[in-house]
Amino acid sequence: MSNKLKSGMLSVLILAFVLAGCSSNSKSQSEQPAAAEKPKASTQEPAAPAPVSQELNWIIAAEVPTADSVKSYDRVSSSQIEIFAEGLYKIDGDNKTVPVLATGDPVISEDGLTYTIQLRSGLKWSNGEPLTAKDFVYAWKRLFDPNTAAQQASTYYNIKNAQAINEGKAALDTLGIEAVSDTELKVTLEYPDTYFTSSLTSVNLFPQNEKFVTEKGDAYGSSSENTLGNGPFNLTNWDGTGLTWSFTKNEHYWDKDNIKLDKINIQVVKEVGTGINLYESGAVDVAELSGEYISQYINNPEYVTVSALSASNVELGISSNKFLQNENLRKALSLVVNREELVKNVLIDGSLPLTGIVPKGIAVNPDNGTDFADEAGVLAKTDVEEGKRLWELAKQELGTDKITFELITSDHDAAKKTSQYLQSQFETNLPGLKIEVSNVPTKVRFEKMMSYKFDLALGGWTGDFDPVSYLNLFYSTYEHNHAKYKDETYDALITKIKTEDSVNPQQRWKDLQEAQKLALSKAVVIPLYQGASNYLIKSKVKGVVTHNLGTPLEITRAYIE
Amino acid sequence: MTFFKFILKRLAFMLATLFLISTITFLLMNFLPGSPYQNEEKLTPVQRQMMNEKYGLDKPAGERYLIYLSGLAKGDLGISLQFGNQPVSKLLSSRIGPSIQLGLQAMLLGTVAGIILGTISAMYQNSFIDTFASLSAIIGRSIPNFIFAVLLQLVFAVSLKWLPIALWDDGFRSTILPTLALAIAPMADAARFIRTEMIEVLNSDYAELAKAKGQSKVRIAFVHGLRNALIPLITIIGPMTVGLMTGSLVVENIFAIPGIGEQFVKSIVTNDYATIMSVTLLYSVLLVVIILIVDILYGLIDPRIRLAGAKQ
């Protein structure tokens, strides 16, 4: 072979390699939805004379795992499902439950077990097929069918036979839901539940079209073609794993006259800085803020903060560490934490100090509408002097001068900052205490907590509409009672709340408050802060509704001015 | 004929390597703490048990591995629990394109620029140009690519508005900044390797001879010298290309590119078993194939390097 020939072959090889790469790309590129191309033109040069284009360019922080409302278990997918599907009720801007597909509040039987709900007539799926009460029955059965393996199923075990069905011990047909007629649903509960109507707003209880779902089989909810909705918009151009998709107006939606947007373009942007750059350039109408960006934008008129219903706590391994069984020691730990300082100077992310077990915004007093947390007041106080006093007392009682605790936390930014702050607070204020911080992946931290073997752990909890979903964490036999705390009075109170109080909302409220007070008087947990989500939203975008419960920003009724 | 034999032998080795890699990965994966369910704090023990049965996770590791292998033989990569039980093959096929395109573009740009930079450095050894080129190579190698990515984004997209800030929706224009960010490292590496080799080559007898014959400096370096200086570079180009083609977590996130890079980390963090196996195998397959190609290239570039068995 001559040299020329060989070098010729070499270049052909390299070229072939490069071309092979190029061709496979140009294909994948053309598969990308063209949707995101248009927004740029429309936002960068707002068309002055014609009416404003009602096209919203929105970014979210992660991919959508599934568009199947029954299988959805995370915030991202439910935030997207709520755009193209709708249930019986929804949460409005004031955290109140309001009817959407239902015509009014449910009629509840005397014993609190039977709910009769009327549906609007003439409801349609986005493909034009009629939507009836049977579609709810189908979806709910599918939710509890063990073959579906829906991760959220246990949240709704208050529905009659739901748990038995989900565990394969009862037939699907025994589920407590029945389509009395096309527009009337009858739901039977296992036990009375004051917050059942609120839980009817969850995407997991949205209707599903049996014919469509059966036809798609396992692929249901894995792409826009394989998904059917009934909400304000239709999901389009979603390939199941991609970073872009869009929503177009659903002409079959019952309230379509109140939908002003023609199109919503969604783009997944994971890097906060990139989102902000896109926002500043006008390419998108929203950006999520985190970390240092929050303090940079906090005085911007377009800054929006929405507190989340999540509680971040220091969990105490009471059962696994004998020092933590000392009540004075636990109290001392809690007293030296300055929650105000933590959220204002350390986290700086819109979080609120948390001084109870139940965060703000969960539930209101049935008599006077006062928020649960507001009514409870400051239960976990900060008092460094008292903390120091109790610490010395505890050391005497325990007969030791030096105590070392491991503080186990996740390895994300906020957890690291919080753990460093706690370490300095504990060690400076409580002489003889040594804190060994270990920042580990969330799964590792969780496994340690679930094995009930840890000293201190930075944990969190997101409950649901009912304060008891937080208070249950210290019920002796609950598997997420990571402290394995056991107090008969407390257990009795929780049992009472779950059973006999169910038909007496006033008494239940009192007992809930009582239970929270009791748990914190024993310092079974150290509440730290209530998280928040922070955004920038363009001032031209109106009608965005913020929620503490569920999806922080609802955009279905938004419009552009 | 010997070439054919060589290839067959290598293919057998490649299969054995891949089998070993997949076995070890599967073993290690079993030590990951936690479950693949993203909502595990809300699962009841009974639910968890039933889900484990449904996804075959209740079986012993050995049995699961056999099931996995038989699925693999049929081309079934399993399902991703992170992506609503969608097939991993779908995830890979929709995400690999952008990563490969960026990787190859960055590789091509980086090595060509690096070769030119390195050769010039060698030609003007210890001059101002050399110092400048070496310095930029060191800077390029020591600063992580996400810093470049953010800088490029700020300068060329946010300030100058020449190119899109991010997103994968503007055809080739969308690829320019991420390609540049990714190309810095291969450029720096190539420049360093070529410089060292080229200095040696340019001091060799045949380079002196060419010089004596009156050939120009540029011609000596690029025509006579380059081919001899390429060998060590070729060795590192293989693994580097694979690394680039399988995407970069940070660069993809900064430019919001639907690539596969993120999955190398995220699948592990989320215990998405089938995806961990698939991305590991993808990387390994690319790597062994590229190593084979590199070995063949050696022979083409330098005929003195004989293929194994060729002497027989």
Residue A395 carries which side chain, given as an amino acid letter?
K
**Per-residue pLDDT at A448:** 86
The minimal CB distance from A447 to the residues B33, B103, B165 is found for B33
Which stretch, A8-22, A44-58, A104-118, has highest mean pLDDT?
A104-118
On the 0-12 / 13-18 / 19+ scale of CB atoms within 10 A, B205 is: exposed
B210: pLDDT strictly greater than 70: yes
**Per-residue pLDDT at B306:** 58
How far is the alpha carbon of B244 from chain A, nearest alpha carbon, in Å?
12
For B33, which residue in chain A has the nearest alpha carbon?
Answer: A444
Which stretch, A380-394, A453-467, B168-182, has highest mean pLDDT?
A380-394
Q: Distance between CA atoms of B275 and B124, rounded to whole angstroms?
A: 49
The alpha carbon torsion through A506, A509, A513, A519 (nearest 10 deg) reads 130
Q: In this prediction, what percent of chain A has a pLDDT beyond 90?
A: 67
Q: Who contacts A297 (Cβ-Cβ below 8 Å, separation ≥6)?
A: A289, A303, A536
A144 and A213 in contact (C-beta within 8 Å)?
Answer: no
Nearest to B250 by CA among B157, B163, B154, B181: B181
Q: Distance between CA atoms of A164 and A211, rounded to whole angstroms?
A: 26
Q: In this prediction, what percent of chain A has a pLDDT beyond 70?
A: 91
B189 and A52 in contact (C-beta within 8 Å)?
Answer: no
Residue A371 carries which side chain, given as an amino acid letter?
D
Q: Distance between CA atoms of A61 and B262, rounded to whole angstroms?
A: 14
Q: What is the DSSP string of B95-158?
A: HHHHHHHHHHHHHHHHHHHHHHHHHHHHHTTTSHHHHHHHHHHHHHHHS-HHHHHHHHIIIIII
pLDDT grade, residue A352 (50/70/90)? very high
Cβ distance A241 to B83 less than 8 Å, yes or no, reads: yes
Convert the pLDDT of each residue in A496-529 to its tens digit: 998 888 888 899 999 999 999 999 999 999 999 9
A35: pLDDT strictly greater than 50: no
- The residue-averaged pLDDT of A152-163 equals 91
Q: Distance between CA atoms of B299 and B284, rounded to whole angstroms?
A: 23
A362 and A91 in contact (C-beta within 8 Å)?
Answer: no
More confident residue, B146 or A301: A301
Computed on alpha carbons and rounded to an integer, the radius of gyration of chain B in Å comes to 24
pLDDT grade, residue A396 (50/70/90)? very high
Q: Could you tell me the end-to-end alpha-carbon distance of chain B, in angstroms, rounded to an integer? A: 11
Q: Who contacts A63 (Cβ-Cβ below 8 Å, separation ≥6)?
A: A76, A241, A242, A243, A268, B83
Question: With an 8 Å Cβ cutoff, is A218 touching chain B?
Answer: yes
The alpha carbon torsion through A386, A388, A394, A398 (nearest 10 deg) reads 180
**Per-residue pLDDT at A551:** 86
More confident residue, A147 or A11: A147
Convert the pLDDT of each residue in B93-125 to its tens digit: 888 889 989 999 999 999 999 888 888 888 888
Beta strands A403-410 and A433-440, pairing class: parallel
A12: pLDDT strictly greater than 50: no
Q: Distance between CA atoms of B22 and B77, rounded to whole angstroms?
A: 12
For B100, which residue in chain A has the nearest alpha carbon?
Answer: A21
- The residue-averaged pLDDT of B31-59 equals 82
On the 0-12 / 13-18 / 19+ scale of CB atoms within 10 A, A408 is: buried
B241: pLDDT strictly greater than 90: no
A505 token code pair: 């909302």
For B40, which residue in chain A has the nearest alpha carbon?
Answer: A151
The minimal CB distance from B84 to the residues A31, A66, A146 is found for A66
Beta strands A263-268 and A55-60, pairing class: parallel
- The residue-averaged pLDDT of A404-408 equals 95
Identify the residue among B3, B41, B246, B250 best suited for mutation to test binding to A, counting A beta carbons within 10 A and taking the highest.
B41
Q: Quick one: DSSP state of residue A466?
A: S
Identify the residue among B38, B42, B99, B147 best suited for mutation to test binding to A, counting A beta carbons within 10 A and taking the highest.
B42
The minimal CB distance from A283 to the residues B165, B227, B255 is found for B165
Which structural domains are found in chain A, ordered by start? 58-64+218-307+533-560 (3.40.190.10), 86-214 (3.90.76.10), 309-532 (3.10.105.10)
Q: Distance between CA atoms of A473 and A525, rounded to whole angstroms?
A: 10
Q: Distance between CA atoms of A238 and B257, rounded to whole angstroms?
A: 15
C-alpha distances out from residue B173 to A32, A303, A436, B99, B247, Å:
15, 31, 49, 15, 18
Cβ distance A22 to B85 less than 8 Å, yes or no, reads: no
**Per-residue pLDDT at A16:** 41
A289 token code pair: 């803020």
pLDDT grade, residue A328 (50/70/90)? very high
- The residue-averaged pLDDT of A398-416 equals 91
Within chain A, how many helices (H) and strands (E) appear?
18, 21
Q: Distance between CA atoms of A264 and A83, rounded to whole angstroms?
A: 10
Query: Comparing A344-353, A547-556, B212-221, which segment has the lowest mean pLDDT?
Result: B212-221
Please give the CATH number for the structural domain made up of B96-271: 1.10.3720.10
Q: Distance between CA atoms of A314 and A125, rounded to whole angstroms?
A: 46
Convert the pLDDT of each residue in A522-551 to its tens digit: 999 999 999 999 999 999 999 999 988 778
The minimal CB distance from B45 to the residues A146, A277, A479 is found for A479
Q: What is the DSSP string of A43-106?
A: HHS--SSSPPP-EEEEEESS--S---TTT--SHHHHHHHHHH---SEEE-TTS-EEESSBSSSP
Residue B112 carries which side chain, given as an amino acid letter?
V
The rounded Cα B213 to chain-centroid distance in angstroms is 42
A218: pLDDT strictly greater than 80: yes
Backbone φ and ψ for B130, nearest 5 degrees, come out as: -60, -50
Handedness of CA B197, B202, B203, B204 (dihedral sign): positive
pLDDT grade, residue B271 (50/70/90)? confident
Q: Distance between CA atoms of A216 and A156, rounded to whole angstroms?
A: 25
More confident residue, A232 or A13: A232
A286 and A536 in contact (C-beta within 8 Å)?
Answer: yes
pLDDT grade, residue A23 (50/70/90)? very low
Cβ distance A9 to B104 less than 8 Å, yes or no, reads: no
Average pLDDT across chain A, whole number: 87
Q: Distance between CA atoms of B79 and B56, rounded to whole angstroms?
A: 12
A224: pLDDT strictly greater than 80: yes
Question: With an 8 Å Cβ cutoff, is A240 touching chain B?
Answer: yes
Note the residue count of chain A: 561
The rounded Cα B227 to chain-centroid distance in angstroms is 23
Q: Distance between CA atoms of A460 and A355, rounded to whole angstroms?
A: 14
Q: Distance between CA atoms of B286 and B107, rounded to whole angstroms?
A: 15
Chain A residues in contact with B293 (beta carbon < 8 A): 13, 17
